[in-house]
């Protein structure tokens, strides 16, 4: 049970800002995910914590103690690698006991701990196998057992599931989640898969171009994104221009004032930058127009494309030449997925709208 | 300051410093000495450009330059003519006994060229039995001496480079590109010339470059079979060891010109291949097709003819070693007289050869593995420099290196000339690049993650290398060591300059025996070399997974 604190971490590769002013507080026992597109710095940050890279400036603390001066082999972090990194010339048992030998654990205790760890990852009885006799999923379980058997202060997982096929990925991520909760081991988990991040994490840190965009619980990250980037990266999001919709004067003044605050310099104001974000599931779609007494936005359009995936269907609705909105329908019936070209009406509640300043990337409302 | 102290902690920095020292002492300093000495007048000891104007001005020397380039290019072309078809047929069609063909090509590659030269003389020299045999049937053919003989030996000796490199490339190119050519209406021949060959050009040209550079550097072949046909390597040797008192200045100048010519070819090969990395395909590889009946026989005949023709010298030499001889004349009857004679007369040559080779290989393997690791895993500006410097021995002929070591270490404070050590060091530095290459290429197949995992689990980096990476490298390291041993025990061109009475080796003894007309002794010693070489190759083939690559 340990906490990790990152203070003002900077790292450049030549002109490229790999990490820019990273400040994070990872709580004891938490599963904390670094999420972002490739090249956003998440793996660099993880490897810096492990001690494989050295930050240019800033400090890393584990349990309040600075570990910057410690080499990788003395940091007491257990790492699970993307390509498993199982020692191919050692048996499963030797792989798992490898770190214990470095800690001079007695032979008897080593045996018990290895058995326990293999039982935890459901590989009991495979001690004598060589890694090339195992499937990818089994190899990664060995990787997990090897990292956690040393009871590290922090478990570091570098895209551990990305080399596995879709079914195994889901199975193993549930296992990781359960084991992590059972052992209460502080874990930093790197992934580029936003769905994986939402499912597995206690908190998510979304990174973009070497900077932290937002740190929040999965629910908050999805429902309350603080940046344009976060809204567009996590889940799918419709964006349309603010100016497309007619607003009454009171609303207009209110939004424009908030909008002005989102610029570094309020003179940069340009209402072309103001974007509305709406989740596809927050749009109501219907065939016939109904007149209702509320101030919801009504947009007419026609169905251009339907992506059916069983549990749901995504309708691509053409509103005008520039705007096409995605609408999620749960449990679509047979007829409704065969309606390409038909005219529909979309209804959007103003409460479900988020407003973003595309230029500064900030959320205004 | 912290960074500096941290860097002292890192054991690999000591490896880097040590490697640079070795290169400086055994390569840079000797080459610089030669360069320096090429500007020194032999008599007055003053600075002069006379050596260069002599070499470039006098017809005799100019002919040697011309001859060197001619046999070098002709040897390279011969290697291409044999190597490319062989590679194409064996990679694209079902050829029976493919591994036998590869093995024979590998044997041709590792057996020393001067043995080939000597074998051809016993067949087609002035007393050659094949010539006599043919004369009895009324067929008169000229002797093998001169440029034709040299080119024949070079082509048969160096084609395996082209064959093995081209085979590798041909069997991994993305076959969709060839399919696209078919689809766009190319006939098979046009497809080969316009699509396939350009795609494998980097590999073909690398093989061709090796054939050229090694032809240019070879001393034994032109010296044994060339007779009056002077090339630069024999010229440098003669200028240095001339009975009229050697001329180190002129010999050095010739050496510099040799290196210069090699460099020009390296430069052009690099330039031609710039931005020509087409990558290879892991999934979409060419299929091996079955040959149509009517083509099958001629293609099999061609492949087997080429490889068997190149192994004739080895077979002939072993055969000769059991014949009774008197000087250069083979007598009727068979026996083991020749072997008895070498054990009685030159046991020291056999002993020296094995001792020197084992000693130099031990050094090569240890340092080569470490440097290979540093270059592959600790990439930085400094290791990039190390990487390019380690390649220098590829283009420095053995004769030139031998001269350089003599010029550098024949006076106080460090006198090495005449000692076994200088021969060992020469072999060591000449073979180092091969070992570095092989260990860094094995490392590319071992994921860096495994070593990081060990460090992450609390292992000190140096121990992580010993416990994890080194065991994984081991098969490759052993194969590399055996290959280094093969080339070390067959080394002639630097030893011929560096040996004294007590440090004579088998290749040197064979060379001297051939010159003295002691053909029986030469055959018996050559057979020992060939059989040792064959055993080492057999061992490499049985331990390494990608067979051909172990030999390049």
Three-point CA angle A17, A20, A24, nearest 5°: 145
Q: What is the CATH number of domain B58-222+248-320?
A: 1.10.3720.10
pLDDT of residue B5: 47
Asked whether this chain's domains B14-32+344-552 and B58-222+248-320 adopt the same fold, the reply is yes
DSSP H or E segment with residue B4: helix B2-9
Q: How far apart are alpha carbons A64 and A182 in whole angstroms?
A: 24
From the number of C-beta atoms within 10 Å of its C-beta (0-12, 13-18, 19+), residue B170 rates as buried
> Which ipTM value was assigned to this complex?
0.75
Q: Tell me the mean pLDDT in the region B404-412.
A: 87
Q: How many CB pairs under 8 A join A and B?
A: 66
Q: Residues 93..152 of A with a Cβ closer than 8 Å to B: which?
A: 98-99, 102-103, 143, 146-147, 150
Q: Tell me the mean pLDDT in the region B466-481.
A: 86
Nearest to B227 by CA among B310, B155, B143, B135: B143
- Whether residues B455 and A73 touch (CB distance < 8 A) is answered with yes
- Whether residues A88 and B455 touch (CB distance < 8 A) is answered with no
pLDDT digits (tens, 9 = 90+) for B288-308: 878 888 888 999 999 999 999
- Whether residues B457 and A84 touch (CB distance < 8 A) is answered with no
pLDDT of residue B548: 54
User: Cα torsion for B450, B455, B458, B461, to the nearest 10°?
Assistant: 130
pLDDT of residue B1: 44
Neighbours of B140 (CB within 10 A): 8
Quickly name the fold that domain A4-233 has: Rossmann fold (3.40.50)
Confidence label for A192 from pLDDT (cuts 50, 70 and 90): very high
Share of chain A above pLDDT 90, in %: 55
Residue in B447, B449, B455 nearest the CB of A72: B455
Q: What is the CATH number of domain A238-357?
A: 2.40.50.100
Q: Is B202 on the interface with A (CB under 8 A)?
A: no
Choose the mutation target among A54, A72, A143 for the interface with B, i.e. most B CBs under 10 Å: A72
Instruction: Kindly tell me if the per-residue pLDDT of B283 is higher than 80.
Output: no
- Whether residues B456 and A83 touch (CB distance < 8 A) is answered with no
**Tokens of residue A191, six digits:** 């992934």
- Whether residues A50 and B456 touch (CB distance < 8 A) is answered with yes
- Whether residues A78 and B456 touch (CB distance < 8 A) is answered with yes
Choose the mutation target among A98, A151, A156, A159 for the interface with B, i.e. most B CBs under 10 Å: A98
- Whether residues B453 and A103 touch (CB distance < 8 A) is answered with no
Q: Which residues of B touch A79 (CB under 8 A)?
A: 452-453, 456
Report the chain A residue with the minimal C-alpha distance to residue B472: A89
- Domain limits, CATH 3.40.50.300, in chain A: 4-233
Q: How far apart are alpha carbons B163 and B81 in whole angstroms?
A: 10
Nearest to B396 by CA among B8, B30, B14: B30
Choose the mutation target among B457, B476, B477 for the interface with A, i.e. most A CBs under 10 Å: B457
- Whether residues A73 and B447 touch (CB distance < 8 A) is answered with no
pTM for the complete prediction?
A: 0.77
Confidence label for A201 from pLDDT (cuts 50, 70 and 90): very high
- Whether residues A85 and B450 touch (CB distance < 8 A) is answered with yes
Residue in A71, A75, A87 nearest the CB of B450: A87
Q: What is the CATH number of domain B14-32+344-552?
A: 1.10.3720.10
Q: How far apart are alpha carbons B252 and B405 in whole angstroms?
A: 12
Contact of B470 with B395, CB cutoff 8 Å: no
Residue in A52, A85, A99 nearest the CB of B447: A85
Choose the mutation target among B453, B454, B472 for the interface with A, i.e. most A CBs under 10 Å: B453
Three state DSSP letters for A238-271: EEEEHHHCCCCHHHHHHHHHHHHHCCCCHHHCCH
- Whether residues A81 and B461 touch (CB distance < 8 A) is answered with no
Instruction: Kindly tell me if the per-residue pLDDT of B7 is higher than 60.
Output: no
Q: Domain spans of chain B? A: 14-32+344-552, 58-222+248-320
pLDDT of residue B193: 82
- Between B442 and B229, where is the model more confident? B229
């Amino acid at each position: 049970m340990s906490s990790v604190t990152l203070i003002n971490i900077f790292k450049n590769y030549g002109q490229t800002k790999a990490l820019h002013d990273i400040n994070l507080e990872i709580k004891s026992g938490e599963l904390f995910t670094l999420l972002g597109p490739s090249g956003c710095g998440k793996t660099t940050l993880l490897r810096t914590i492990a001690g494989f890279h050295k930050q240019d400036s800033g400090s890393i603390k584990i349990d309040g103690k600075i570990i910057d001066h410690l080499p990788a082999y003395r940091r007491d972090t257990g790492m699970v690698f993307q390509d498993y990194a199982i020692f191919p010339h050692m048996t499963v048992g030797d792989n798992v006991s490898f770190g214990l030998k470095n800690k001079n654990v007695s032979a008897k205790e080593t045996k018990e701990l290895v058995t326990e760890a293999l039982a935890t990852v459901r590989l009991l009885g495979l001690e004598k196998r060589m890694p090339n006799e195992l499937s990818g999923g089994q190899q990664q379980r060995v990787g997990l057992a090897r990292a956690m058997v040393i009871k590290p202060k922090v478990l570091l997982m570098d895209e551990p599931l990305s080399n596995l096929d879709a079914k195994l990925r889901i199975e193993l991520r549930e296992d990781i989640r359960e084991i992590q909760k059972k052992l209460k081991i502080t874990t930093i988990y790197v992934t580029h898969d936003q769905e994986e991040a939402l499912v597995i994490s206690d908190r998510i840190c979304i990174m973009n171009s070497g900077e932290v965009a937002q740190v929040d619980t999965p629910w908050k990250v999805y429902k309350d994104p603080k940046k344009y980037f976060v809204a567009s990266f996590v889940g799918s999001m419709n964006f349309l221009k603010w100016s497309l919709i007619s607003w009454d004067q009171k609303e207009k003044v209110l939004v424009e004032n908030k909008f002005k605050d989102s610029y570094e310099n309020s003179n940069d104001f340009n209402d072309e930058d103001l974007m509305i974000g709406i989740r596809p599931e927050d749009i109501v779609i219907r065939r016939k127009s109904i007149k209702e007494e509320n101030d919801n936005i009504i947009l007419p359009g026609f169905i251009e494309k339907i992506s059916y995936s069983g549990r749901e269907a995504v309708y691509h609705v053409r509103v005008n030449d520039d705007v096409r909105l995605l609408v999620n329908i749960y449990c679509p019936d047979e007829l409704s997925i065969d309606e390409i070209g038909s005219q529909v009406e979309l209804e959007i509640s103003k409460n479900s709208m988020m407003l973003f300043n595309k230029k500064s990337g900030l959320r205004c409302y | 300051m912290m960074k500096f102290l941290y860097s002292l902690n890192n054991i690999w920095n000591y490896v880097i410093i040590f490697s640079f020292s070795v290169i400086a002492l055994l390569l840079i300093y000797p080459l610089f000495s030669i360069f320096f000495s090429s500007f020194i007048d032999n008599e007055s000891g003053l600075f002069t450009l006379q050596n260069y104007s002599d070499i470039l001005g006098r017809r005799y020397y100019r002919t040697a330059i011309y001859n060197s380039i001619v046999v070098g290019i002709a040897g390279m072309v011969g290697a291409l003519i044999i190597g490319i078809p062989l590679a194409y047929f064996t990679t694209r069609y079902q050829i029976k006994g493919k591994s036998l063909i590869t093995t024979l090509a590998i044997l041709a590659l590792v057996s020393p060229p001067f043995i080939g030269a000597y074998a051809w003389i016993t067949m087609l020299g002035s007393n050659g039995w094949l010539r006599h045999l043919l004369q009895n049937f009324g067929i008169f053919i000229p002797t093998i001496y001169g440029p034709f003989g040299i080119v024949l030996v070079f082509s048969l000796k160096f084609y395996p480079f082209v064959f093995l490199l081209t085979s590798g490339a041909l069997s991994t190119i993305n076959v969709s590109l060839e399919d696209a050519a078919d689809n766009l209406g190319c006939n098979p021949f046009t497809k080969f010339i316009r699509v396939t060959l350009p795609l494998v050009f980097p590999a073909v040209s690398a093989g061709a470059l090796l054939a050229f550079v090694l032809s240019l550097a070879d001393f034994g072949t032109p010296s044994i079979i060339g007779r009056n046909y002077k090339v630069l390597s024999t010229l440098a040797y003669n200028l240095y060891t001339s009975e009229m008192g050697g001329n180190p200045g002129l010999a050095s100048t010739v050496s510099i010109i040799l290196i210069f010519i090699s460099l020009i070819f390296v430069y052009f090969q690099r330039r031609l291949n710039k931005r020509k990395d087409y990558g290879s395909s892991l999934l979409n590889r060419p299929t091996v097709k079955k040959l149509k009946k009517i083509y099958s026989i001629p293609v099999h005949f061609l492949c087997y003819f080429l490889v068997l023709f190149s192994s004739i010298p080895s077979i002939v030499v072993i055969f000769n070693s059991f014949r009774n001889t008197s000087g250069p004349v083979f007598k009727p009857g068979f026996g083991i007289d020749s072997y008895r004679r070498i054990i009685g007369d030159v046991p020291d040559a056999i002993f020296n050869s094995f001792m020197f080779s084992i000693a130099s290989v031990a050094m090569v393997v240890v340092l080569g593995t470490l440097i290979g690791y540093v270059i592959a895993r600790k990439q930085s500006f400094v290791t990039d420099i190390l990487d390019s410097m380690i390649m220098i021995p590829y283009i420095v002929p053995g004769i030139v290196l031998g001269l350089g070591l003599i010029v550098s270490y024949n006076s106080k404070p460090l006198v090495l000339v005449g000692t076994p050590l200088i021969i060992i060091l020469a072999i060591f530095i000449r073979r180092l690049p091969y070992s570095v290459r092989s260990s860094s290429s094995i490392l590319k197949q071992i994921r860096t993650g495994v070593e990081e995992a060990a460090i992450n689990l609390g292992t000190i980096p140096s121990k992580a290398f010993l416990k994890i990476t080194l065991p994984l490298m081991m098969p490759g390291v052993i194969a590399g060591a055996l290959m280094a041993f093969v080339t070390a025990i067959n080394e002639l061109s630097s030893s011929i300059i560096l040996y004294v009475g007590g440090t004579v080796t088998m290749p040197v003894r064979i060379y001297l025996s051939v010159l003295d007309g002691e053909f029986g002794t030469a055959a018996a010693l050559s057979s020992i070399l060939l059989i040792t070489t064959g055993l080492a190759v057999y061992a490499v083939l049985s331990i390494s997974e990608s067979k051909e690559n172990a030999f390049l």
